A and B are shown apart, each in its own frame.
Chain A
Amino acid sequence: EDQVTQSPEALRLQEGESSSLNCSYTVSGLRGLFWYRQDPGKGPEFLFTLYSAGEEKEKERLKATLTKKESFLHITAPKPEDSATYLCAVHHAGNNRKLIWGLGTSLAVNP
């Protein structure tokens, strides 16, 4: 069964304490993996697209990486404004018209 699993469900960090969020997937024919950020009560905001194993993308304190089975979102020296839910979604060859979404990781960064 095609699925996307994110871990942990929730993560609490101190400001400056680096960590990683995980998105593991089991799909046939990955076409793209997407990371989004969602603030409470707002729509998700696009962060990154990764297409093939070994690819990396960076934006400020965030770095996304991709292997054949999972993706990591590394957060370096986080700040309180990085607090949000981070969503992962996968586009695969089995259905090229929609995504499979993970349930997200809720990140809280304490000052």
Chain B
Amino acid sequence: EAQVTQNPRYLITVTGKKLTVTCSQNMNHEYMSWYRQDPGLGLRQIYYSMNVEVTDKGDVPEGYKVSRKEKRNFPLILESPSPNQTSLYFCASSLDRGPYEQYFGPGTRLTVT
């Protein structure tokens, strides 16, 4: 089944404790992206990647890191999480090297206390 998977789905952590949210797609898609979704603010892009080893900042990259060492994986790293990073996070991918028809993962609900 074609899909985007994220892990974990739910995470409660404390301020400053490094964490990684994994994202994997099995569709051989070129473009991958991370979003956060907050009430009243909608979907905001954190980082995106057009291809392996090619990443770039989205609208809200501060406090986040990403890497794209393999085509299928695009992990999101929070080196020192803070409470303002409490949010619902989505990974997405699309076939072409651009944000066209995107397939979204199921989401990761992160709480930082």
Contacts and interface: CB of A to CB of B under 8 A. Distances in A.
Interface of A: 32, 34, 41-46, 49, 87, 89, 91, 96-99, 101-104
Interface residues of B, number: 27
A101 B43 contact: yes
Interface in B3-37: 4, 33
A104 B90 CA distance: 16
Contact of A42 (B44, B48, B102, B107): B107
Contact of B90 (A44, A96, A103): A44
Given A97-B50, A97-B56, A101-B42, A91 B98 contact: yes
Contacts of A97: 48, 50, 56, 98-99
Nearest to A43: B104
A106 to B, nearest CB: 11
B22 to A, nearest CB: 15
A36 B100 CA distance: 12
B66 interface: no
Contact of A98 (B42, B45, B104, B106): B45
B105 interface: yes
Given A101-B43, A103-B42, A104-B42, 14 more contacts: A34-B101, A42-B107, A43-B104, A46-B102, A49-B100, A87-B42, A87-B43, A91-B99, A91-B100, A97-B50, A98-B45, A98-B99, A101-B42, A103-B40
Contacts of B76: none
A96 B19 CA distance: 31
B50 to A, nearest CB: 7
A103 B39 CA distance: 9
Which interface residue of A41, A87, A97, A101 has the most chain B CB atoms within 10 A?
A: A97
B48 A43 contact: no
